[in-house]
Amino acid sequence: MTKWLRNLGVLSVMLAAMLAGGISNVNAAGFEHDHRFGADVKLIAALGLNSQEQAALTSALTTYGPAVKTAMRASHAANKQLKTDLKATPPVGSQLVADAAALAQAKTNLKAARAQLDSALSAALTPAHLQQLQAELTAQFQSRLYKKTDRVLFGYAMYLKRQ
């Protein structure tokens, strides 16, 4: 009986971790308040846009895309620098404060760049296309989540088999 309860506990912890990861992926994919778009070219091609809408999307991506990419790289670099300085022996407080301020500024710049890109993309698409895009992104997310769930459950079954 205790073995069964322990196995159930392990399964519940694994599923909770997977669900928490899935929720963070949903937020990262743009289904929270700031609506970031993570659409790839195939997905945009599947929307059936006319040439004018495609030109508007291309223009938005070429205009605002590089700024988002640069801001994302700066954010990652600031985060890496902060982690490096945290691991220093002994950590220097003033350097950590400067790193934290740089990271906060980089995140603010990234959020602003994404907002510009998102507004340009939203202006280029009709509401029907935005709904279709959201439905496609949700389907992609669910497919990845189901695959991860299957892998976790298979691993858990193998764990149980070894017990």
- pLDDT band (50, 70, 90) for residue 123: confident
d(CA 97, CA 28): 27
Task: Give Cα separations from 150 to 9, 23, 27, 51 (angstroms).
Answer: 18, 17, 22, 41
Enumerate residues 6+ apart whose C-beta is below 8 A from 18. Answer: 145, 148, 149, 152
Q: Could you tell me the pTM of the whole model?
A: 0.56
d(C-alpha 6, C-alpha 154), whole Å: 17
Q: Looking at the chain, how many residues does it have?
A: 163
User: Which residues fall within 8 angstroms of residue 49, CB to CB, at 6 or more apart?
Assistant: 57, 125, 129
Within 8 A by CB and 6+ apart from 59, the residues are 120, 124
Look at residue 139 and tell me whether its pLDDT is greater than 90: no
Can you give the residue ranges of every domain in the chain?
1-47+147-163, 49-124
More confident residue, 135 or 75: 75
Q: Predicted confidence band at 30 (pLDDT cuts at 50, 70, 90)?
A: very low
What pLDDT was estimated at residue 7? 54
